[in-house]
Every structure is written in structure tokens, then in C-alpha cells.
Structure 1
């Protein structure tokens, strides 16, 4: 039987610098060394050895929908929502209601927002 541990997520982006700045400002992720190559791909730490790889693809068409997203958990989602408001980052619930959080049937509160390339990000309090 095979066992797996999550390692990284990779996103193709139009402008690496804009995406890195967004993830550093909004999610406060720290940039780490790209140990795989000397390419222009840049890495951010998600903590506990997990990574977000930002890959330059300036000519690629990026298509997304909310069902294709990644989710991060925080201990204080209300503080994070305040942070989004301060940064003037639009967020919504799953149904797309602007500036509204959503509480799932299991009691987990979540919000959704998009990065500069249109990728959807969920932040929840599932700790």
C-alpha cells in the first residue's frame, strides 16, 4: 500500500512578482529558496515543509472556477476577514455573496477570494 503526504501546490501565473507580492501581503507567506532549479519559478512556504510554487507562464490562458481551489486554515478567521477588508480584497461565501462568510453544516466558517490570476483561495477555521 502506498502512503502519501502533501508536498506542494504549483500555480501558473502571468507575473511572478505580482503573485509573490500578493501572497506575501495577503497570506503573509515567506519566500523560500527554489532548490529544484535556477528557473524563475519562486517558492513560498505554507509551513510544515509544504510549499506554494509560483511558475511564470506569461502567455498561458488561465481558466479557473471556484470548485478548483486550495484551502488554508487559520485559528482566527474573523481577524483574517478584517485583514482582507483592510487590504480591500473582495471575498465571498461559497454561493458568491459578496463580503459574506459561510458556515458549513459541520460548523466550519469559510471565505473565498481570488488571487491576481483568478485562482480561488478558501480560508477556514477547521483547526
Structure 2
């Protein structure tokens, strides 16, 4: 009986010490970098259309602009793309907003084109989990999903 109790204590000790160590190994998103053709145009889009807050960047070379995307993640825009490319919609950034209708009104006010997943202008898509979403493209044709997820 004492032997069984000791095994349980050892097992609990292993879980309590190894569990946090494994959690420390899990990566967390730090930033996403996008290579852009026209940095001022892309900066204006992410600041004025998406409403991201610009933050200081360390390079001070005129080729980088950084934005805060959340408490611990950033978007880095880097000037230097030779041209604007086409990108598949399946590869996209996704942001959530508190009110998708208010955000869509903002897109309308800024004359920013948006659509459903299937391409219907100014329409939302309803995901199987109940989240509504719209899709738009930035000046470099990178796809962006904006949704009302409440997670």
C-alpha cells in the first residue's frame, strides 16, 4: 500500500515538473512579416483600414514598419518586393473584431472592397462553427479574413 502511494506521489511530481517544462517548449506567435511593394501604401492600409497601431521599429532604415496585432504579436511590413503578386485566398491573415457589421460599415466608408469566401461582394460567410467572416486584400494582394469569433 505504501509502495502504491509512493508511485502516485512520484507520478504527480513528474507531472508537476515535466508539464510546465513541456509548456515552455511550445512556440507562441511573435510576429508575421510581409514583404511589400509600396511601404507607404501598405502602412496606410494596415493603419487606416484595419486600424492597427503602429509601433516603433528598431531598424530606422525606411524599409520597415511595425504594427501591434495583439498583446504579444506584431505585423512587420518590409519594403522590397519587386512587384505586387497574386496570392491564394487559402493563405491569409485573420483578425477578429467585436462587431463585424460595424467593421463592414467602416470598410464601406473607406471604400475598401470586401467579399464572402465565395466572392460575393459585401457579403459575409458563415463558418460551420457559427463565426461570420469577410475577406479583403491589402495593396499587395495578401488576403485578410476579418471575423466575429468570440473565443
Same fold by TM (over 0.5)? yes
Q: Which runs of 5+ in 2 are unaligned?
A: 1-21
Larger radius of gyration: 2
**Residues 84 and 141 of structure 2 are in contact (CA less than 8 Å); yes or no, is this contact kept in structure 1?**
no
Number of the residue aligned with 1:51: 74
Could you list the per-position Cα deviations for residues 22-81 of structure 1 after superposition, in whole angstroms to 9, with x for gaps in the alignment? 11111111111113x343211011120211100001415533111110100111111001
Q: Deviations over 1:2-21 (max 9, x none)?
A: 30111111111111111001
- Distance in 2 separating the partners of 1:81 and 1:60: 29
Number of aligned residue pairs: 126
Give, in whole Å, the separation in 1 of the partners of 2:35 and 2:56.
Answer: 18
Asked if 1 retains the 8 angstrom alpha-carbon contact of 2:84 and 2:140, the reply is no
> What is aligned with 1:113?
136
TM-score (normalised: structure 2): 0.78
Once residues 116 and 59 of structure 1 are traced to their aligned partners in structure 2, the CA distance between those partners, rounded to angstroms, is: 14
Please give the secondary structure, in 2, of the residue aligned with 1:54. Answer: strand
Q: Which residue of 1 aligns with 2:40?
A: 17
Equivalent residue for 1:93, pick from 90, 110, 116:
116
SS of structure 2 residue aligned to 1:78: helix
Gaps of 5+ in 1: none
Task: Establish whether residue 5 from structure 1 lines up as the match of residue 14 from structure 2.
Answer: no
Report which structure shows greater RCO (CA 8 Å, sep ≥6): 1
CA RMSD of aligned residues (A): 1.4
Give the CA deviation at 1:121: 0.4
- Alignment of 1:63 with 2:73, yes or no, is no
